[in-house]
Amino acid sequence: MAAGFDDAAQDRRVRVQGEPVASFPALPPAAVRGSARRITEVGEPVLHRRCREVTEFGTPELAALVDDMFATNAVARGAGLAANQVGVDLQLFIWDITDDWGVRHVGHIANPVLDEVPAADRRLVEESEGCLSVPGPYRMVPRLDLATVRGLDQDGRPLVIEGRGYFARCLQHETDHLHGRLYLDRLGQRDRKTALREMERSRDEVLARRAATAERLGK
């Protein structure tokens, strides 16, 4: 598996749904189609409970939700976004992220399940992590540097996505969201309190930047 990642690191093509493509626009087509939604914030109930599985695939409603999530992520300049971050109680997240090797990954997945990593292959890396639902603060959070997530695409087709480094962190972070957990829940009590105080100070500035980006993108 590690050899596969090393090989992929030499191939700079964008990965869409895990597959390399010849070219891809800076703004994903889904974001162009979609409309930005309000991002929920820490303390709102939908962020703190396990989301429901997606059971209906290939519907206009699900396709519109994926498009809107990409648009919302673009406006917020995020790396990924879970459905409950736009107030929808479904196990679904999207990503648009460039990894440590300069490879961009774009996609979505429903009903994701992270593979268990054997103890011999587990390596925790502590790096700075933030969240669009906690506007402002970043904190050091330990995560596995390797992640494989299995689920379905919006049409119900099986999907397996592998990530390493920053992309692995994203896959774990977004899967956490669907279980009702924020990165704040991985912090000690003191760090969590200081992060929340910092959020209160920075929130208005962050939201103003998002509003300016939404206006520029016509979202």
- Catalytic amino acids? 174
Q: Could you tell me the CA-to-CA distances from 207 to 92, 94, 213 in Å, in that order? A: 24, 21, 10
Q: How far is Cα 102 from Cα 100, in angstroms, rounded to an integer?
A: 6
Query: Measuring CA to CA, which residue among 112, 96, 121 is closest to residue 5?
Result: 121
Element at 128 (helix H, strand E): strand 124-131
Cα dihedral across residues 141, 73, 154, 27: positive or negative? negative
